[in-house]
Structure 1
Amino acid sequence: MLQLRFSQSSLMQLRQFHAISDQCNCAFCNRYITRYLWTTILCLLLGFLVYKLSKFYYQYYSLPPGPFPLPIIGNMLCKLLNKITILPKFWDDSIREMAKKYGPIFTVYFGNNPQIIITDADIARQVFSKNEFSGRFHNYFASLLANGVAMADFGHSWKALRRVAHMAAMNYSMNEKLENIVVDCVDKTVELMLEREGPDKPIKPNDYIYMIFLNILANSAFNEKEYLKSLKWFDRKVYEKKSKVFSEMRELILKKFKLHYIDYNPNFQRDFCDTLIEAKNVAINEGRKSADYLTDDRLSMCVFDMFFAGIETSEITFQWLLLLMTYYPEMQNRLKQEIETKIGNRLPRHQDRQQCPYVMAFIAETLRFRNVLPLGLPHKSMVDSKIGNYTIP
């Protein structure tokens, strides 16, 4: 039998050798595992990116044509889209240019979100006649206004509110009180202009025009005789403020709407709120299913929608009217002559529109020539649908 004898020093050296060997093997394994892990992560990440890119561009080629988008930024670098967003010229003209290049139905990407724009009136009528395109997008801004008509998604509540709000707006527009409100607001604003600016001096009319329409809508909605201090939030910076401002405005309008119940008289409708209350009572008395959706919160949001839809667009349209009359004084003289001939010194009435064809034509041409809102509120397809030869998911 062979016997091996090791000295104490030899045993120590052997143990150190094994320890060093184990450390080398462990370090090698750690490096191998780390490298394998990172390789796996990179492969998964690359595969995910390829999948997302393939899905993104598959969607691009399956939708109506449009400028070539990039992931994340969409068409932000597109020359024509820059004309829309940065506004070096009027954006309605830029949309017309895109329609000439890509056709009456084209797609523009805002970020990763495709927006299909329809510029043909007949196609637009066909699309808007279908319920499957009556949805609204769910985003932060829409959630703040979701109980009204403008930003609410399609459903029984939206249909009931839209019907009531449309009927109330039509009825109130025919009310003689609205005519008196308009005349009173214009007269007071002109008096203020003369007092502050003086006659025969050039002025910047923007703020005065804004004041006219703000007062008309405030009087129409809440029967207020003067500019409301409590409506101080309705200024030009309202779109730049946060959700707290929207909540405050909603609470303010809801409070004023509920105050109308205190002295409500069904035989005398003072304003738009009274008209909405009347429509609600009719639905309840007739036992309509829509009555369940006509809550005070939702009806007050119809008033809220009226402010946002009415003030800014009306103000900008009126600025264009003044600018065009300034550029074309011969048209201004003809407008003045027709008003003096057909209306004279009395207050204008709703039915006078039929007697003033040139005035109505001038307004219509202004709306066509400088459409302040060439893009309407975005719609969402509720199910897979067709627009022309294109399938819209």
Structure 2
Amino acid sequence: MEVFLQQISSTGIILAAVLLFLLMYLFSISSSSQNEEKEPPGPKPLPLLGNLLMLDLKQTHVSLTKLSKQYGSVYTVYFGPKKVIVLAGYKAVKQALVNLSEEFGDRDITPIFHDFNQGMGIAFSNGDNWREMRRFALSNLRDFGMGKRKIEEKIIAESQFLKEKFETFKGKAFDSSQPVSFAVSNIISSIVYGNRFDYSDSRLHEMVNRAYENMKLTGSASIQLYNLFPWLRPFVKNQQRIVNNLQENYKESDKILHDLKKTLNPQEPRGFAESFLIRQQQDKDSGETGSFFHMKNLFYTINNLFAAGTDTTSTTLRWSLLLITKYPEIQAKVQEEIDRVIGGRQPVVDDRKNLHYTDAVIHEVQRFASIAPICVPRKTTCDVHLNGYFIKKGTSVFPLLITVLKDESEWETPHTFNPGHFLNEEGHFIKRDAFLPFSAGRRVCLGEGLARMELFLFFTSLLQYFRFTPPPGVSEDELDLTPVVGFTLNPSPHKLCAVKRF
């Protein structure tokens, strides 16, 4: 009898909990319906699941783009219990990220992003820590090459190493992903540490492989579910794999920093890391309390710079090689222009203004590939009105950059690879307002200037020296442009042949 009563009691508690949950849900729906004319529209959510049954978490950007066709450029969607405002199209994204930059300026730090940085570093922090780290990074990255002749020389030197690596394949088919990633990673390394790695160095291989794997896993369906339901952590193997990779990165950074400290000259820092260490010591000597210049912030910031600086640029370069191989007539026009304007000498940044078609091709690669289809999520810093809708403070916001770069009202042929998007009638390069591959506003990509320089110098140096073709027996039409979805959109696995032109 006692057991029976206990069972009834347990059942009653469960039923009461379910009833309470349903009442809360109905109340929330009722409350939102009262503000329906003010809050962004969207599909009706289910209890707990929200709109998850409508979303393909393996291609989230595709699902969100489809929903924008039905609900407009500013709409609401529920990822499980989490409310998210989605922005689609150039006008809505610009209004939020540029015109209302402060209001949409915080980072939405999801559980996996917190695992990355613990609220420190640059990419996934807010408030005073973000402001101090970004200010210091911008100042010192300029000192160590971003936008300066010094880094141009390093990129040119690295392009020679990359060409030599491509030559070792002797015109046979190969996968360009590792060599390209090595080259781009070395540019970040030279800025952060003041030196580069040999392509045969196992440390470089491991750092690049870990960064690539983390970018891929971060966009996986299981990690997206973990972000919505953090209690799933023990069951999400990808989360543990990401954390393990990060810990290995920190161990490697610690070894490099240990060696740098042995020869550190406070008067002549050789890279970003040494500048940070010098500032750390200065704060310590002055008795500065609450300083942001501690080792965890250094580790997380270095990881941010390597992850963002390597993946996005190397992925874009790989897309550029794949696309000019698929469209040989475009490759031929690029090479004709390079030969006519530059000849046999090494391309330099100043050549960009005379290489109109080449510059247009590089921009079109960034637009067409749209490697960051969803901007890293933002969060509103205060209550704000956008396009006549009310959005509460602290609401998560997903700007769909892919809908900006493929906005049918901004681009003549948005779903076609067409360098003409960036050329006027005279064949001169023109800027386009809706070209926002680096995002916009106060969270715009920190390394935009560096990335633009790398893309131009690596691309022109390779096209000047090699003709890229599909592997024997494969036609241009058979080259697959379907992206592999992770945190960024990578080309499908493929091989190309780099044939010396002269």
What range is the shorter-chain TM-score in? 0.7 to 0.9
1:138 to 1:325, Cα distance in 2 relative to 1, 3 A: closer
Shift of 1:219: 3.5
What is the percent sequence identity of the aligned residues?
A: 23
Tell me, which stretches of 5 or more residues in structure 1 are unaligned? 1-26
> Residue deviations 1:182-206, cap 9 Å, x none?
23333333323332x322x333323
User: C-alpha distance in 1, partners of 2:63/2:105?
Assistant: 25
Structure 2 residue 127 is the aligned partner of structure 1 residue 155: yes
Tell me, which stretches of 5 or more residues in structure 2 are unaligned? 218-237, 394-502
* Counterpart for residue 449 of structure 2: none
Structure 2 residue 154 is the aligned partner of structure 1 residue 185: no
Q: In the alignment, which of 70, 73, 87 is matched to residue 101 of structure 1?
A: 70
1:333 to 1:242, Cα distance in 2 relative to 1, 3 A: closer
1:36 to 1:328, Cα distance in 2 relative to 1, 3 A: closer
Structure 2 residue 325 is the aligned partner of structure 1 residue 354: no
* Counterpart for residue 369 of structure 1: 368
1:67 to 1:124, Cα distance in 2 relative to 1, 3 A: same
Aligned positions of 1:235-274 closer than 5 A: 235=209, 236-238=212-214, 239=217, 240=238, 241-257=241-257, 259-265=259-265, 270-274=270-274
Q: Which has the higher contact order (CA 8 A, sep 6+)?
A: 2
* Counterpart for residue 435 of structure 2: none
* Counterpart for residue 6 of structure 1: none
* Counterpart for residue 452 of structure 2: none
Q: In the alignment, which of 226, 234, 241 is matched to residue 208 of structure 2?
A: 234
The answer to whether the Cα contact below 8 Å between 2:132 and 2:292 also exists between their aligned partners in 1 is yes
- Alignment TM-score, normalising by the size of structure 1: 0.75
1:292 to 1:52, Cα distance in 2 relative to 1, 3 A: same
Shift of 1:309: 0.8
Shift of 1:305: 0.5
1:264 to 1:31, Cα distance in 2 relative to 1, 3 A: closer
1:209 to 1:290, Cα distance in 2 relative to 1, 3 A: farther
User: C-alpha distance in 2, partners of 1:342/1:192?
Assistant: 26
1:202 to 1:34, Cα distance in 2 relative to 1, 3 A: closer
Structure 2 residue 201 is the aligned partner of structure 1 residue 202: no
One-letter amino acid matched to 1:186: S
Structure 2 residue 102 is the aligned partner of structure 1 residue 125: no
User: C-alpha distance in 1, partners of 2:275/2:328?
Assistant: 41
1:38 to 1:292, Cα distance in 2 relative to 1, 3 A: closer
User: C-alpha distance in 1, partners of 2:99/2:20?
Assistant: 35
User: C-alpha distance in 2, partners of 1:277/1:234?
Assistant: 24
> Residue deviations 1:56-96, cap 9 Å, x none?
54576555223333333333321xx32xx334xxx766544
Aligned residues between the structures? 352
Shift of 1:132: 6.7
User: C-alpha distance in 2, partners of 1:290/1:357?
Assistant: 53
Name the SS for the 1:372 alignment partner: coil
The answer to whether the Cα contact below 8 Å between 1:165 and 1:276 also exists between their aligned partners in 2 is no
User: C-alpha distance in 2, partners of 1:272/1:338?
Assistant: 37
Higher helix share: 1
User: C-alpha distance in 1, partners of 2:364/2:31?
Assistant: 39
One-letter amino acid matched to 1:224: R
One-letter amino acid matched to 1:166: L
- Alignment TM-score, normalising by the size of structure 2: 0.60
Shift of 1:159: 0.4
